[in-house]
Structure 1
Amino acid sequence: MRLTASELVSAIDNLPKDRTYTYINPKTKGLIKIVSVTRPEGPIVIKRFDSTKGGTLENAREESISPEMIWRVANAFFPNQPINLDRVLGGSYNTRSVLETLIAHTPQFYFCYPGRIESTISNSQIKRGHKHVMWCPENPHQLGVLVKAETDIVISEVPIADAFYDALVVPDELVTTELDIEAVRRHSQIQIALIKIGQQLGFRTWIAQNDKGIKYQNKRLVEMEGVVNSLRDERIISAFEEAYKAALLIDCIWFKNGKLMPAVMEVEHSTGVTSGLTRMKGLQDALPPFLTRYVIVAPDEDRDKVLREANRPQFQSLNVRYFPYSAVEELYSLCQRRKIRGVTEEFLDSFMEPTLGQLEQPYVVQ
């Protein structure tokens, strides 16, 4: 069960707008007023002021909580698990305590102080922890009030593991008026992460024909370990000429043991999702019935768009899975830190979300 930015924004929008809100920490004397909420994913505009220092609602300036910040927070929550927003946001965003406070005033969220494991050379001790927020969707409280949850949860505060990429070189021909250099670079970083994940899972990886000129660690992508040089070498595809042609421009395909094709993936960073779905549908139509995953890899904030497009009638046979960037980089980071092996296909599935039937409203043909 995952939380989305639109669900967070909706919950905050339901808070009364004719009142102010106190911070979770009683030592923080300021007050917060919601000015406006833009659905579905923000921004949220607020005012905050401290009357003990002469501040008033009238002279307080308006500040914005961005959709990006809301998405980062939403992605961190799992049911009944305490989350420290300062750690999630890395100390960035000066409105993080405001967002934390507003979230905690909504019915499904509690604040708490889980125990903290403090380790030294000789021993470990459990000490009082820092302030966390916990999402409890099955146990809502009254709207507009702060409620503390008593919990026996203890947290070992291991530093957050980041995914990292070496410098890459993007050919000039890939940068167009539609795609700037940063968009192409981010698209390429995700492809590299998929190649590295594939290596760890024992897969060979096909990268789209027109992306092979990208250089990473002084090698073209086609020269990286585990990258398929020619689709003619993969009998699953080469046996079907139309499938071969359709696969050439697919962003990423995983192959295994010369007999299996664990995933067909389109990375949709800043282009429309429909083009990637159309390419995958063309490949599916050119192959006999075959067990594989058709996957859209896209930024977390594009989840609603992916679900909406994947549920179009013409794409439902793909049974598309959504592989958000955060999940790609979580798995990539794990592969960088641990030489994982022997995992099952179910392990891979746990990082992807099915899309069929996940829309709040069924797709209707216009």
Structure 2
Amino acid sequence: MSRLTAANLVHEIGMLPKSSVYNYVHSKTPTIIKIVNVVKPEGPIVIQRIRPNKGETWNNAKEESISMQMIWRLANTLAPNHPINVDRIFGGSYNTRSALEALLAHTPQFYYCYPGRIESISSNSKIKPGHKHIMWCPDNPHAPNVMVKAEVDIVISEVPNTEIVYDALVLPDEIQTPELDIEMKRRHCQMQIALIEIGQHLGFKTWIAQNDKGIIYKNRKIGEMEDVITSLKKEENVMQNFYDAQKAALLIDCIWFKNGRLMPAVMEVEHSTGVTSGLTRMKGLQDALPPFPTRYVIVAPDEDRDKVFREASRPQFQSLNTRFFPYSAVEEMYALFKRRKLKGITEEFLDSYMEPVLAQLA
């Protein structure tokens, strides 16, 4: 297994005895933790914490929650034998972040460690004592219910996290309906904008769903952005002779085209609607075209991975060979193109960011 999900972390913590108390990784922290409840498959995890040195007891300890969103956020950063600074991942967010770190450190596949830290001042670099990290070591488990320190010959260069900044969006009146959460629609649109700009860097033209073209971004309708296609019939040879395909594509969130002849990806952004509706639209397009090489992709929040895999694995959608493109991967790619003027990128570059659903069934 090369990646973890929230369900994996919850399962591991769920194996810890509820009757035990757990210390923090930092040995000088006087607080101790007890597990109250573990909700499977993806959380939340309910805990209690007390400081015995302050006279606190379990009888009056309040219950606190480690949320599903928090667990997913950490799961998405973990890779085998790669140290993770939990405080850096969460910044100042989530007051239960150290409790989550401590509970994981008591499970067999997780160690804590102190890799060295590269400090650069005026072009001079020094290796300084490092900060506390946890590390997932799936091939070298330790005894359960204890914390084990890993001795590592690793140094960390702490490059500041990249932030993705989106300008304000103006949504047309017709999509500001009471039944649609406006923040969900806004996030949906942000993903479409990121995909348009990623497409520009890859040399693609982009089709955006007909009903989203009126959204205003940077004082311009997104349907009028550079390299956004205005007509499937007139501009793309792929669909010129297939009226049913043109009709099926009208409301698909995002389609990338290349050189008028290729279609690298068909994408549905599933933030405000169910996954099944997006899969159904893509299946309709696939059925309206002759066999054609492309990627059928669901773009969705990271925490929706299990839902995407479950729905895309259903027999009626298996011909799509669906790929999952999580929001975090979209924004990682978007940030990379913003920072670097990459050249010579092939379409296979996309595959390292998109996870194939059917590969998990093999």
TM over 0.5: yes
Corresponding position of 1:196: 197
- In structure 1, what is the equivalent of residue 277 of structure 2? 275
The superposition leaves residues 240-273 of structure 1 with CA deviations (integer Å, 9 ceiling, x where unpaired) of 1111110111100000111110000000002110
Q: Aligned AA for 1:123? A: N
2:13 is matched with which residue?
A: 12
| CA shift for structure 1 position 162 | 1.5
Shift of 1:175: 2.4
Alpha-carbon separation, structure 1, partners of 2:268 and 2:330: 13
Aligned position for 1:28: 29
Give yes or no for contact 1:205–1:255 (8 Å, CA) kept in 2: yes
- Structure 2 SS opposite 1:150: coil
The one-letter code of the counterpart of 1:202 is G
Partners of 1:311 and 1:357 within 8 A in 2:
no
* Equivalent of 2:344 in 335, 342, 346: 342
1:163 aligned partner, one-letter code: I
Report the counterpart of residue 158 of structure 1 in structure 2.
159
Select between 337-346 and 266-275 the one with higher mean Cα deviation: 337-346
Q: TM-score, normalised by structure 1?
A: 0.97
Please name the residue that 1:124 is paired with. 125
The residue that corresponds to 2:263 in the other structure is 261
- Following the alignment from structure 1 to structure 2, what is the Cα–Cα distance between the partners of residues 8 and 100? 11
Measured in 2, the distance between the counterparts of 1:270 and 1:143 equals 41
* Matched residue SS, 1:236: coil
Offset at residue 339 of structure 1 (A): 1.7
Is 1:317 matched up with 2:319?
yes
Contact 2:181 2:272 in 1 (8 A): no
Q: Give the Cα–Cα distance (whole angstroms) in 2 for the partners of residues 296 and 304 of structure 1.
A: 12
Partner of 2:335: 333
Deviation at 1:176, TM superposition (A): 2.6
Q: Distance in 2 between matches of 1:68 and 1:241?
A: 42
Whole-Å Cα distance in 1 between the matches of residues 183 and 173 of structure 2? 12
Query: For residues 176 and 156 of structure 1, what CA distance do their matches in structure 2 show?
Result: 47
- In the other structure, the counterpart of 2:105 is 104
Residue aligned with 2:42, SS? coil
Deviations 1:267-292 (A, max 9, x none): 00021101100110010011111100
Q: Which runs of 5+ in 1 are unaligned?
A: none
Counterpart Cα distance in 2 of 1:128 and 1:156: 12
Give per-residue Cα distances to partners, 1:305-334, cap 9 Å, x unaligned. 000011010100000000000000111111
Q: Which of 343, 351, 356 is matched with 1:354 structurally?
A: 356
Return the letter of the residue paired with 1:338: R
In the other structure, the counterpart of 2:253 is 251
**Aligned ranges for residues 80-229 of structure 1 at < 5 Å?**
80-229=81-230
Q: For 2:57 and 2:230, how far apart are their aligned partners in 1?
A: 66
- Which residue matches 2:295? 293
1:179 touches 1:270 (CA, 8 Å); kept in 2? yes
Secondary structure of the 1:76 match is coil
Report the Cα offset of residue 50 of structure 1.
Answer: 0.8
Give how far 1:177 is off: 3.5
Correspondence 1:303 to 2:305: yes
- CA displacement at 1:357 relative to structure 2: 4.3
Query: Aligned residue pairs: how many?
Result: 360
Q: Say what the alpha-carbon RMSD is for the aligned residues.
A: 1.0
Structure 2: runs of 5 or more not aligned: none
Cα distance in 2 for partners of 1:223, 1:263 equals 21
